[in-house]
Amino acid sequence: MDHSIFETIDTLYDKMVETRRYLHQYPELSFHETETAKYIADTYSDLGIPYEANVGGNGVIATIEGGRPGKTVALRADFDALPIQEQNDHLSFCSKNEGVMHACGHDGHTAELLGLAEAVWQHKQDLPGTLVLVHQHAEEFTPGGAKPIIESGALDHVDAVFGTHLWVNTDYGTIDVSKGAFMAGADGFKIKIQGKGGHGAQPHQTKDAIVIASDLVSSLQQIVARRIDPLKTAVVTTGTIEGGTAFNVIADTATLTGTVRTFETEVQDTIIEEMERIIKGVCTAAGADYEFSYQKGYPPVVNHEKEASLILEEASHADASLKTREVEPSMAGEDFAYYLQEKPGAFYFTGAKLPNHYYPHHHPKFDFDERAMLHGAKTLMQAYLSYQNHS
């Protein structure tokens, strides 16, 4: 296939922008993306592309069979939003759904995959193999949408899977990938402390839950600092502390929540064991009771070396202006990990940093360079073609 398909993708840029901005105005939370899923399905209906809806929940999967023999390759985009009140009042397409926002670029992922589908449909007779376009719900909230889509059997026939994430930490025009571990496993925890409340002027008659919680926040940091091999990677973050009712009342209860990020099961197991030991020790010393719950989330995203090498070596074939980099892993998490446990493939970042407007993913002022959607669509197409040529 010549570069005509990439030229067709270029002609669809304005349509991608229109799609992205529409979806940005009507974001939906994980597992509640019914209207978004309907929009995706309606788009495929209008194009005449066969699809299946309600896959594993709200997932939508379209299939395009090429005119030449080849492998079956899946390309994935997610489409859920976050419980964030948007603060981009300067945008004409700011979210119209109170307290919900596309603050991670999933609207862009959906737009670029729909644009890619339309381009491929126009060139399908020249296409080798079969393209499976996976629109996945519920990436942001465990247990996520990837696992039920896999469990549905909808991808059993697929030979490989690729995906990309528009990434504002990376400069526009740059593709970042690794040949192994790429994103961390992401777990969550909750600790509820039951002390004994009382008057702020009589602390000796209480078991101050907030003081105990403060001790735990500091003590939990010792796990990575003193219990994990310095050559290993791990993060233990306490994200919230809730407790107390008034400035002069000593709290009887306090609740901590947080996240743990690891790449290896052995390190994950050590952290869980050490957390149990520290929580029990601190609470016992203070005479308080506790409840500790630990939720194992998405596993690490581990790219397959061969498929990641195709991204690294051939992504620029889709657009000569692109540069690729092999990078160190990110501690962010992604349920794309489940696809890579089942099938060969790779996940990579498409640089989307906006000039003079940098706010990180999950920030209420998050936005990305829309031109990066072209890079995302083109490199996914190139990954598909490269796999056909090298498998």
- Sort 65 into a burial class: Cβ within 10 Å, 0-12 / 13-18 / 19+: middle
Confirm if 57 and 141 have CB atoms less than 8 A apart: no
CA distance 343 to 235: 28
Candidates 252, 163, 179, 248; CA nearest to 210 is 252
Q: Would you say 3 is a known binding-site residue?
A: no
CA distance 113 to 43: 11
Indicate the SS3 state at residue 317. Answer: helix
Confirm if 310 and 383 have CB atoms less than 8 A apart: yes
User: 28, 80, 335, 367: which is the annotated catalytic residue?
Assistant: 80
φ, ψ (nearest 5 deg) of residue 152: -70, -15
Candidates 369, 370, 374, 366; CA nearest to 85 is 366
3: tokens are 């570069």
CA distance 51 to 344: 23
Q: Would you say 307 is a known binding-site residue?
A: no
Candidates 329, 370, 366, 377; CA nearest to 352 is 370
139 is catalytic: yes
Q: Would you say 370 is a known binding-site residue?
A: no
User: 78, 86, 107, 139: which is the annotated catalytic residue?
Assistant: 139
Q: Would you say 140 is a known binding-site residue?
A: yes
Q: Would you say 104 is a known binding-site residue?
A: yes
Task: Tell me, letter by letter, the H, E, C secondary structure of 321-350.
Answer: CCEEEECCCECCCCCCHHHHHHCCEEEEEE
* Three-point CA angle 115, 17, 5, nearest 5°: 30
- What positions carry a catalytic annotation? 80, 139
Feature table: binding site:
104, 106, 140, 165, 362
Feature table: binding site for Mn(2+):
104, 106, 140, 165, 362
